[in-house]
Amino acid sequence: MLSVNFIRQNPDFVKERLALRHFSSPQLIDELIALDDQRRKLQAERDELQRRVNSASKEIGNLMRNGDTEAVEKLKAEVAAAQQQMQDVAGLNAIEKQQHDILVQIPNLPSKLVPAGRTPEDNVVVREGGVKPQLAANAKPHWDLVQQYDLIDFELGNKLTGSGFPVYKNKGAKLQRALIQYFLDTNTAAGYTEIQPPLMVNEASAYGTGQLPDKEGQMYHATVDNFYLIPTSEVPVTNIYRDEIIKESDLPVKMTAYTPCFRREAGSYGKDVRGLNRLHQFDKVEIVQLAHPDKSYDTLDTMVEHVEKLIQSLELPYRILRLCGGDMGFTSALTYDFEVFSAAQQKWLEVSSVSNFESYQTNRMKIRFKDGNGKPQLAHSLNGSSLALPRILAALLENNQEENGIRVPAALQPYFGSDLISR
């Protein structure tokens, strides 16, 4: 969340950066400043009344010691009147709520590195790697391969729960487990502390990372207890440090977690969601960092390199995109997407987003550190998928299909226990 003071001091800059996002309500900036003018006026009136109450209260003490009861009663009446006026200073709390309601509608400001553009077609390819495989003419998409090798049962998942809740079985379940363990081991070897967080969070946690009020329609809501099933482990993991002050010497804080993730994805349908391409429940390993503001973009670069090496180790063709202003998430200042190429589907599949949120999330969560002068400052938060499993699994199955089975990349073989998936 942006701060009111920053917006007051830089209204034209804020509007200019929001225009890069194609933000549809720039008038909210002027409304926010006008409300803040009212708030400051009312606050000044209340502060003056409080000053008068404090002064009179002190004087009452002196008069009582001198036995001047008449003057004491007169001042007590003045204090009571001033206190009543303080109660009657109309609308201060209401104005503060109006300000907050506007602030949560304003997305993060894009970094200067964010390219102009409105749609995914305007995203910039930073680099590509790997080799696209040449498959046989009879090559199959993953939704056929998983039936052939009895790896995933989509229909059983539909029976048990509904569409988008697949059942992994046999070597499919083992490969899923191998990928999760490999990703976690790679992350912890890079200095990330492994966390196993809850799969449901309260409203404050969902608000802290920006899922509320922006994405409530995409989350599953346990209404009786007012808990939300997590759309990503970023939510509980980042909130570990909500309302905390971190030692500057402890930055960066590096955490990784594996969790199932739950997303309603309302309105999704058609060929682009077939098989593993889009699910309501899926497994993902996440990396999260809390960094010093002066170093967060260097941290972002190291996180991008980490995810890139992970994909390279799986021998998958990939590309890295820098998202344009119109395609960025609400809370992000800069995002890099990773896509792997599916040779059977002949399309790119997104498998990771790595983002710097700067202080947008940490301002909501009040995650701070003390600088060299002992003054609390907001840390910067970053996160990335390392990796989301469904489309990684889809690409691995499709790109590595051979006549006698599906080849397992060398990096996964110690975890899977074999170099081939066969009947």
Q: Which residues are annotated as a binding site?
A: 232, 263-265, 286, 350-353, 383
Q: Give the residue ranges of the annotated binding site for L-serine.
A: 232, 263, 286, 383
CA proximity to 362, closest of 208, 197, 205, 252: 208
Please name the residue that has the structure tokens 């938060």. 381
**Distance, CA of 214 to CA of 105 (rounded, Å):** 8
**Distance, CA of 276 to CA of 151 (rounded, Å):** 12
**Distance, CA of 63 to CA of 115 (rounded, Å):** 69
Residue 38: partners with Cβ closer than 8 Å, 6 or more residues away: 91, 95
CB-based contact 310:183 (threshold 8 Å): yes
Residue 192: partners with Cβ closer than 8 Å, 6 or more residues away: 254, 255, 256, 287
Alpha helices in 66-130 (DSSP H): 69-88, 92-103
Q: Quick check: helix, strand or coil at residue 9?
A: helix
Q: From the CA atom positions of the chain, what is the Rg in Å?
A: 27
**Distance, CA of 271 to CA of 255 (rounded, Å):** 35
Q: Give the residue ranges of the annotated binding site for ATP.
A: 263-265, 350-353
DSSP letter for each residue of 50-67: HHHHHHHHHHHHHHHHTT
∠ Cα 275 282 278 (to 5°): 35
CB-based contact 381:361 (threshold 8 Å): yes
**Distance, CA of 56 to CA of 79 (rounded, Å):** 7
**Distance, CA of 278 to CA of 268 (rounded, Å):** 8
